[in-house]
Amino acid sequence: MGAWRRTAAAGGKRTGSGASVTPATRSAGASIQALAARTRLHRRAATHTCAPPACCRDRRCGTPLPLAPARPPGRRRGGGPGAARRRPLGGPPPLGAHGGGAAPGPPRSAAAKWEAYYDREQPPWDSHRPASQLVEFLTSCTRCEPQLPAGADDANSAAALAAAAERGGVALPPQAPAAGAGPPPALHACAGCAGTKPPRGGAVLEAGCGSGASAAWLAAAGFAVTGIDIVPRAVAAAAAGAARAGLPPDNPRFMVHDVFDAQRLADELPGGGGFDALYDCQTYHALRADHARGAGDTLPALLFRLLRPGGLLLLLAGNAAEPAAGGPAALTAHELLGPLLGAGFELVQLQATRFDPTPHYEAAFGRRPLAWWLVARRPAAGAGGAAG
The whole-angstrom separation of Cα 177 and Cα 31 is 57
Residues with pLDDT less than 70, the chain: 1-110, 121, 145-156, 289-294, 382-388
Does this model's pTM top 0.85? My answer is no
What pLDDT is recorded for position 241?
94
The model's pLDDT over 16-44, given as tens digits with 9 standing for 90+, comes to: 444 444 555 455 555 555 545 444 444 44
Q: For residue range 258-281, what is the model confidence (pLDDT) as tens digits?
A: 999 999 999 999 877 899 999 999
pLDDT score of 272: 78
Q: What is the pLDDT of residue 81?
A: 39
Task: Give dist(CA 78, CA 101) in Å, integer.
Answer: 28
